[in-house]
Amino acid sequence: MEVFDVTIIGGGPAGLYSAFYSGLRNMKTKIIEVQPVLGGKVNTYPEKVIWDVGGLPPLQGRQFVQNLVEQASIFSPTICLNTKVEQIQKQDNFFVISTDCGEVHYSKTIICAVGGGILHPLKLEIEDSEKYEKTNLHYTILDMQRFRHKTVLISGGGNSAIDWAVELLSVTKDVIVIYRKEQLTAHEAQVEKLKEHGVQIMLHAEIKSFLSNDSDMIEQVIISQNEDIYAIPVDEVLISHGYQREASLTFADNIQPLRKNDYYLVSQGRCMTSVPGIFGAGDIISYDDKVGLIVGTFQDAVLAVNNAKLYIDPDANEYAMVSSHNDKFIEKNNELLKKVYSKT
């Protein structure tokens, strides 16, 4: 039986940075991720440009995920993809982690980094709408170029929908936003950008049906707005109505961490949960002044890992040393600096 020091459930930004940091703290580390790829929610916005991570130039979600994975791989953690953690139990001094593929993993500590859980986009409730998913009905944008010089109708008024609308302005011919409520709920600054570009925004409006051609390409979207019905010609349709969250994993009865709204793990301070040995990082953990952004996941990861280290070895340093003082980087620094100086 192979017992890991720390098993991280979820391979999003919180899980990936935890993996890097636990390697730095000499812990035998495993990541378990239900999706076939690492990166978490950021994979739902691969083309979006991320501006607000300290020390990084603006970069696309796709590139950001690559960077995170590269960093997480530095200390060679074990990575299990396509594996959903279903249940966690406690046995003697370690946790037993059961997965949907029948595997069982053993670990001294757990960092729960399941973020928004397993996300499924909320689909349009219109008969036969699935058939258009093969043509021009989208629930996310995987390749911005597809939308170049096109008229795109976006349904949704939250942050995701409006972020997409703003991103698309640079490539599309026209963007039209429709939303069923009386006001968009996205960040004001993003809404302002749409207004500055004269984007048509239809409120109190909903998609009723599609008119398509013989190849099942949507050509017109039938919209109801108040009492009126409109047929809007389009090239592509993007639906951004949010996500349905699958409950993700369960804990055995004797190790139920305190939760908020049945989902979030409540931090008892420094990303510890109410169960000794189980920690939380990223969007799953809740505490006062929590920053629900990528930068917040990094701070959580550091706290969770440092406390996991102390749980295993109460005599360990409370914090890792800064990079410059850490022996683990001496060889790697030499290699990196050699490359830098060979270029000058």
Residue ranges that bind ligand FAD, judged by CB under 6 A: 9-15, 32-35, 40-42, 44-45, 50, 52, 84-85, 113-118, 160, 163, 248-249, 282-283, 292-295, 297
Bind-site residues for FAD: 33, 41, 45, 85, 119, 283, 324
Tokens of 149: 């010089």
Smallest separation (angstroms) from ligand FAD to the CB of 88: 10
The CA distance from 279 to 277, in Å, is: 6
Smallest separation (angstroms) from ligand FAD to the CB of 141: 10
Closest to ligand FAD by CB, 50 or 222: 50
Closest to ligand FAD by CB, 8 or 320: 8
Smallest separation (angstroms) from ligand FAD to the CB of 343: 32
Which residues are within 8 A (CB) of 13 and not within 5 positions of it... i.e. 6 or more apart? 39, 40, 42, 68, 282, 294, 297, 298
Closest to ligand FAD by CB, 163 or 216: 163
Smallest separation (angstroms) from ligand FAD to the CB of 195: 20
Closest to ligand FAD by CB, 42 or 178: 42
Smallest separation (angstroms) from ligand FAD to the CB of 1: 21
Smallest separation (angstroms) from ligand FAD to the CB of 15: 5
C-alpha pair distances (Å), 108 with each of 35, 143, 184: 24, 41, 46
Tokens of 108: 């001294």
The CA distance from 232 to 23, in Å, is: 54
The CA distance from 85 to 111, in Å, is: 12
Closest to ligand FAD by CB, 39 or 223: 39
Smallest separation (angstroms) from ligand FAD to the CB of 259: 15
Contact 100, 183 (CB under 8 A): no
Closest to ligand FAD by CB, 23 or 156: 156
| Helices within the chain (DSSP H only) | 13-24, 61-72, 159-168, 188-196, 294-312, 330-343
Contact 197, 219 (CB under 8 A): no
The CA distance from 78 to 22, in Å, is: 12
The CA distance from 290 to 280, in Å, is: 12
CA dihedral 291, 295, 300, 301 (to 10 degrees): 160
Bind-site residues: 33, 41, 45, 85, 119, 283, 324
The CA-CA-CA angle for residues 232, 125, 240, to 5°, reads 65
Smallest separation (angstroms) from ligand FAD to the CB of 159: 7
Work out the number of other CB atoms within 10 angstroms of the CB of residue 275.
20
Q: Helices 13-24 & 294-312, crossing angle to 10 degrees?
A: 40
Closest to ligand FAD by CB, 252 or 316: 252
Closest to ligand FAD by CB, 45 or 210: 45
The CA-CA-CA angle for residues 122, 124, 128, to 5°, reads 130
